Structure 1
Amino acid sequence: MRPTFPDSPRAAVFSQGGASNAKRTVAEGVQRWMEVQCAKKATSTSRNYQYKANHVVDKFGKRRIADINKSDLELFQAQLLKKGLSPKTVNDVFTVVRGVWGDAYADGVLRANPLDRIKNIERDSDEDSADPFTREELEALSKIKSARQQDINMILFDCWAGLSLSELIALGWDDVDLEGGTVMIRRARVETEYKIPKEKSRARRVELIDPAIAYLRAQFEITGAQPAVPITVVQRDNNSTKRENVRFVFRNGQSGEPWHASSVGRWFAGHLKSVGVRHRGPNQCRHTFASQALSSYVPVEWVARQLGHTDTTMVKKHYGRWIPGDTKSLAGLVSQMMGFRTTTELTA
């Protein structure tokens, strides 16, 4: 059942009854804002907001919104950082704060919104940067006992396909066209829910390059004939659902059950350690595909479409770094394109 904020333990601190707008407390404001978010947002998103809202209620709960000034909020922001919260987490907490104070301003509780003059915490530019695997590391990752072969098929397929982890573990054989060399992204698994992509651009046809097709063909020999699993898929409105029977491409090689993202992470961490590759999360497979493609001069527009982005902005921001050990000589390629070298000379 979808969690709602009034059912949480924090609801006990809310004022009882119909206080006037002028007397609206922070706790009441959070309750109003959370009720809207729980109705509109995905379960995973609203649950995340609830965790962040706890910080706000713990700090200001019974105080009136109108009595809290800009310096109070800036001090709160600084205190969260001092507690050890990351800049990203503090900014997420202030997503709740901005929502509550924005509602209060729109409802006439405030004559001015102090959040208009409070900026988010600046984050280290490297915090979300890609940390892809090199070709040498991919070779090391392929070393695995035969009992977990389907798990390594999944990882290496994604290094050459670029799906997000949530898309990868929700992929079904009915979404795959091996002859045409494509897969359709129709759903994702976020925490315990299957859902269709929230952005229409993420529901897409992905063109597969040769190594990705090879790993899919190998995987078909393992799971291609396995029976479908009935699942419930949350639709884009985050309220309605649809029943589907999915023959999952990738299943947990140990249990045979459909993957959960956290289970992939645990297995992958152990596998990286066993083959002597520096630890990274499984979503680095997606980064690896993008970085390898860009380092080979594949058009940025094509990479963006493959990843489900509407334009090239995110690709340039997160995946634009070329992998030094893998990058070819650009001058040599330009020389070939301009007719000064033959293909043989370029590869010699």
Structure 2
Amino acid sequence: MLVLDTATMPVAERAEAFHAIASGESGRCSIEHEDVGDRLWKRLEVWRFGPLTLFATHGSGMRIWRTRNQARVDSTNTISVITQSTGDGAFSWNGYQQRVTTGGLVLAHKTAGYEYGWSGPGLSVAFMVDADQLGLPEHMVRTAIPMVASSSMGPLLLSHIRAVHGDADRLAADPGADAVGEATLDLTRALVASVAGDRTTRRAIAEETLLNRVLAYARAHLADPFLTPQRIAHVHSVSLRSLYRACEEGGLSLEQWIIRRRLEGTRRDLAAPEHAHRTIEAICRSWGFTNAGYFSRRFRDVYGTTPRLWRRRNLPFS
């Protein structure tokens, strides 16, 4: 949901308006903008997913920081995961510095203070949650801050955040929005535990978060025709039996879940004007279907029409 676009505001009010919104949404902070006057531009979108708030900040270069003194006078104790979708970001905390490219993310703890920013046009997507909701000891979170860049869980969480952001308006309005937030927290717990937890903690969190990690991995690899339960089990270092048990306890069939997500993707693309030049077979293959006949049958079974008729109905001039 769009909460601010300074392009529609008087130049003199832009910096103050952005600071007011940023402070209101995430707590006390200091902000320095790279550009001034009519070159200063910020667009801020915010979505709620149960206990989690997702932010997308798009615009000219900036630097935002939170000191420990600022954190002390706030009533909230939050944890954030910050990503950079456009441009290169820079994160610093307690002497630790990290360049944040489009392939990375950082973990920030509000009460510890931190600084984040980028130069030139950029888009940062981040989420924030109360530390209590994450359910991990504070010392573990702080230990993980300079280590998450090396975690094998990072790419999985990053892919998940981008998928949620890409469909945020629809997902935030869906009855399952709270579940999206809980899944994100599970992946964040796994990220922290992977680099800062002891063996017992890592094992416990791995078991608790297995299903959400599996679904996030499957969602990120839907286009791969070789995505199989055997491969998923291997990637997550569990037996096929344990994988199926986790899915059964979660009330789903993994194979059917994958097929349904792929069908949803093809259905969207078939009705999208930007894909009107592509053949139906090309679209179905781009979502991991290797057999056009099988795809057509499953599409008709689920949606009650053929892919061709669905496309014709939604793209009458195709």
Fold shared, TM-score > 0.5 on shorter chain: no
Q: Structure 1 length as normaliser, TM-score?
A: 0.25
Which has the higher relative contact order, 1 or 2, with Cα contacts under 8 A spaced 6 or more apart? Answer: 1
Structure ID, larger Rg: 1
Going by fraction, where is strand more abundant, 1 or 2? Answer: 2
